[in-house]
Amino acid sequence: MSTAGTVGRSASSRAISLWYSQLDPTPVRRDRLSGSRSADVCIVGAGYTGLWTAYELLRRQPSLDVVVLEAEVAGFGASGRNGGWVEGMVAGDRRHWAARGGREDAARMAQAIQGAVDEIGRVVVAEAIDCGFKKGGSLKVAQSELEVRRLQAELEEDRLWGLGPDDVAWLDRDETVARISIDDVLGATYTPHCARVQPAALAVGLAGAAERAGAVIHESTPVTRIDPGIAHTPFGKVRAPFVVRATEGYTVSLQGQRRAMLPLTSCVIATEVLGPAIWEQIGWSSAETMWDSRRRYVYLQRSPDDRIVIGGRGVPYRFASRTDAEGPAPADSALALRSRLVELFPALHDVRIDGAWYGVLGAPRQWAPAVGVDRATGLAWAGGYVGQGVAAANLAGRTLADLVLEKRTELTDLPWVGTMGRPWPPEPIRFTAVRGVNAMLRFADRAELATGRTSAIGHLAHLISGR
């Protein structure tokens, strides 16, 4: 995700994320667009989606003139701020993916996104991108009997959809603790289809790989409007037979796109580097990613430099789809994440927090991403990952490349090839609904912790949101 379409304000690397501030050397800002020009393909947004699309287009057809326009710097948006999960899952209910071709379509979508995890690992090696990629799988943990029942029900549904123990397995308490020593844990589900990564390093490394392949990237170049064959910026127009919108949550900043995507925010904090004694207590030697089973869940990773990074919570939505994402994270959100971290790992009660930031992710009304090209207008798009975009963006880039080049492949026949669906309702309905659902989920978590029973309010919240 990038910030194409926003006002190009400068931001320090620390204001982006601790991830970005770790980059050494600090990336030098690329030149802005200096006058109008033409290209074969113009890509709006230098986040994962835009960069993978540029890279894959040029890998297939090196003679193409591919221009990428970015309002800030490559990786400024969610690509440089996320929790670093290269997750073999894609947003969207299985029934959504099965709607076109039944269970076979849902299975093909699942296999494709799982394959994207390994494809990213392959490119990281081939392009010598130093981003701490490690495929350790992922754990979803339960700390109450209610959460155990919830996870086991999810596992039963997985089995009905054809997922076997090699795709997702149940771990009892001892098996879970053998991987990560979590306080009061009762069990977990485990999938091998996930890797850990330093996300800003991946984004910046991918930008370099795209340039080596022949792409031209202009930073500090906000796009204000996209028309068929034209991307408009304050510094000139780029005309191209194909214009790719790869702006994810920042799509709302483009003229006429205010209701196309819901820009949700997520807060992330990172601890200080933890010493051997702490890791001896916690374990976590295989770098699994981890999330809990609450309705307002948190997600964690053990970073390549031995921190714990935890995200979630925060202010979910800003009135009128505001996407400003500079400056520190809200203090109450950072404190809530630190509190949850200590609940999971009491040994960290005195841990120092070295970074706190937040970012914007994109949610379409259908709560599932889409990829497509309109050959009549040359307009192309990908996004709507709802926070599960690190691996999905790679799959989207490969799919877009095949669609643009008119190659009929297994990717172009996947069920996510299509439109983003209907728009979100106008304000103040959007704001009221999102804040209301978030409050209901918060209430449901508290009620479930107190009673040990499933909250009807939580169920209602999911029905209202459509997720």
d(C-alpha 370, C-alpha 202), whole Å: 23
Claim to verify: residue 287 and residue 189 sit in the same structural domain? yes
Q: Which residue has the tokens 């053998």?
A: 178
Does any domain span residue 322? yes
| 213 pLDDT higher than 80 | yes
What is the structure's pLDDT at 7? 26
Claim to verify: residue 358 and residue 443 sit in the same structural domain? no
Mean pLDDT of 69-76: 97
Claim to verify: residue 359 and residue 433 sit in the same structural domain? no
Q: What is the DSSP string of 35-76?
A: S-EE-SEEEE--SHHHHHHHHHHHHH-TT--EEEE-SS-TT-
Task: Specify the CATH number for the domain of residue 343.
Answer: 3.30.9.10
User: What distance lies between CA 73 and its chain's CA centroid?
Assistant: 18
What is the structure's pLDDT at 93? 85
What is the structure's pLDDT at 14? 64
Letter string b/e over residues 301-336, b meaning 16 or more CB atoms within 10 A of that residue's CB = bbbbeebbbbbbbbbbbbeebebebeeebbeebbeb
What kind and span of H or E run contains 363? strand 353-363
- CB-CB contact of 416 with 398 (8 Å): no
Does any domain span residue 268? yes
Does any domain span residue 269? yes
Instruction: Return the minimum-mean-pLDDT range out of 93-97, 157-161, 239-243, 281-285.
Output: 93-97
How does pLDDT run across 397-447, given as a tens digit for each residue?
A: 999 999 999 999 999 999 999 998 899 999 999 999 889 998 999 999 999
How does pLDDT run across 132-185, given as a tens digit for each residue?
A: 999 999 999 999 999 999 999 999 999 999 999 999 999 999 999 999 999 999
What is the structure's pLDDT at 466? 67
User: Residue 437 pairs with which residues in a beta bridge?
Assistant: none
| 5 pLDDT higher than 60 | no
| 28 pLDDT higher than 80 | yes
| 4 pLDDT higher than 50 | no
Tokens of 231: 């991307």
| 6 pLDDT higher than 50 | no
Claim to verify: residue 351 and residue 455 sit in the same structural domain? no
Tokens of 117: 């995890």
What is the structure's pLDDT at 453? 94
d(C-alpha 73, C-alpha 187), whole Å: 42
Instruction: Return the minimum-mean-pLDDT range out of 108-117, 161-170, 215-224, 312-321.
Output: 312-321
Does any domain span residue 389? no
d(C-alpha 467, C-alpha 465), whole Å: 5
What is the structure's pLDDT at 8? 32
d(C-alpha 62, C-alpha 77), whole Å: 27
How does pLDDT run across 92-123, given as a tens digit for each residue?
A: 888 899 987 889 999 999 999 999 999 999 99
Claim to verify: residue 175 and residue 270 sit in the same structural domain? yes
Give the number of domains in the chain. Answer: 2
| 89 pLDDT higher than 50 | yes
Q: Is 106 exposed, middle or buried (0-12, 13-18, 19+ CB in 10 A)?
A: buried
Distance of CA 238 to CAs 35, 36, 68, 221, 235, Å? 9, 6, 10, 11, 10
Does any domain span residue 454? yes
Q: How many CA atoms lie within 13 A of 371 on its CB side?
A: 27
Pairing of strands 236-239, 37-38: parallel
Claim to verify: residue 435 and residue 289 sit in the same structural domain? no
Q: Is the peptide bond before 25 cis (omega within 30 degrees of 0)?
A: yes
Mean pLDDT of 287-309: 97
The last residue of one of the domains, among 339, 363, 387, is 363
d(C-alpha 185, C-alpha 124), whole Å: 34
Claim to verify: residue 292 and residue 188 sit in the same structural domain? yes
Confidence of residue 9 (pLDDT cuts 50, 70, 90): very low
- CB-CB contact of 272 with 306 (8 Å): no
Let me know how long the chain is: 467
Claim to verify: residue 456 and residue 351 sit in the same structural domain? no
User: Average pLDDT of the chain?
Assistant: 93
What kind and span of H or E run contains 337? helix 331-344
The last residue of one of the domains, among 336, 363, 390, is 363
Which of 261, 250, 218, 227 lies closest to 54, judged by CA?
A: 218
Range of the domain at 285: 134-196+263-363
Mean pLDDT of 284-288: 97
What is the structure's pLDDT at 2? 33
Mean pLDDT of 28-50: 98
Confidence of residue 327 (pLDDT cuts 50, 70, 90): low
Distance of CA 40 to CAs 70, 71, 173, 374, Å? 17, 20, 56, 16
Claim to verify: residue 272 and residue 189 sit in the same structural domain? yes
Determine the 3-state secondary structure of 239 from DSSP: strand
Claim to verify: residue 323 and residue 456 sit in the same structural domain? no
- In this structure, what are the phi and psi dihedrals at residue 226, rounded to the nearest 5 degrees? -120, 125
What is the structure's pLDDT at 321? 85
Claim to verify: residue 280 and residue 354 sit in the same structural domain? yes
User: Residue 45 pairs with which residues in a beta bridge?
Assistant: none
Tokens of 235: 């510094």
Q: How many CA atoms lie within 13 A of 11 on its CB side?
A: 28
Does any domain span residue 404? no
The last residue of one of the domains, among 344, 363, 382, is 363
Does any domain span residue 440? yes
Q: Which residue has the tokens 């006429």?
A: 256
Does any domain span residue 234? no
Claim to verify: residue 271 and residue 346 sit in the same structural domain? yes
